[in-house]
Amino acid sequence: MATDPSRGVPGSRLGTLFRWIAVISLTGFVGLLVYGVMARAPNRTIDDALAEAERIDAPPFELALLHRGRPPERLATVLSRAGADRRMALAELRGFPVVLNFWASWCDPCRSEAPVLERGWQRFGPMGVVFLGLDMQDAREDAADFLKEFAVSYPNVREAGKETSRRYGLTGLPETFFISASGQVVSHVIGALTGQQLEAGIEAARAGRALPAARGVAREETK
């Protein structure tokens, strides 16, 4: 004779028991699913995304303004508004492609690269491409002398430490990131870039098309 497993257990208690079993089973399944996803998807860097032809959101920052520069008419309003409080945030440049260059006055490759960037600014700035230098781990006076020596006329911000560079994954100087008008990194040059690399990065930023990271001419380890 078959035994009724529910005999002696009130209906309401039996229903509650089954619901708890279902909850525990579902929780365990979700936990395993999350673990599996995390195990297969480690934290990706900017260059990881670019290697797969994918754009990735540019890490935000807001830093002290080092140099206002002399923007062309097309960019005068946005750059004047962005730097009105003597600070500049990347988010304030949304709507324009951005060439973000990390540099320091003590970096020799940065000196060879400076004329390339200034010529690019003179050519592409009037087309609506923002150039922004980010001076890091540098003395303000030395940075100001550098900008004067190379007649840099695009805006620059500065950061005494390297918090922003860590979020961008820098390992040396100079490095340049090309950011689309929608705020996504689409290209990256590691080391002093050439005029050809600058043009290719700007083209990618204007089109919103991702390019793999490229090696520049020379670079120097960060301090």
Domain 49-221: which CATH number of 3.40.30.10, 3.40.1280.10, 3.40.50.300, 3.20.20.80: 3.40.30.10
Backbone angles phi, psi at 70, to 5 degrees: -130, 85
Kindly state the greatest CA–CA separation across the chain: 100
Q: Is the pLDDT of residue 219 over 70?
A: yes
- Strands 184-190 and 214-215, bridge-based pairing: parallel
**51 CB neighbour count, 10 Å cutoff:** 13
The larger pLDDT score, comparing residue 223 to residue 98, is at: 98
pLDDT score at 15: 52
Query: Of 100, 83, 119, which Cα lies nearest the Cα of 173?
Result: 100
> Using one digit for the tens of pLDDT, what is the confidence trace for 71-91?
999 999 999 999 999 999 999
Secondary structure letter of residue 83 according to DSSP:
T
Q: Is-contact 150 180, C-beta < 8 A?
A: no
Locus of tokens 């290697």: 51
Q: Letter for the amino acid at 194?
A: T
Q: Tell me the pTM.
A: 0.81
Helix axes 140-149, 108-124, angle to 10 degrees: 60
> Using one digit for the tens of pLDDT, what is the confidence trace for 9-59?
455 554 554 454 444 444 443 333 333 333 333 357 999 999 999 999 999
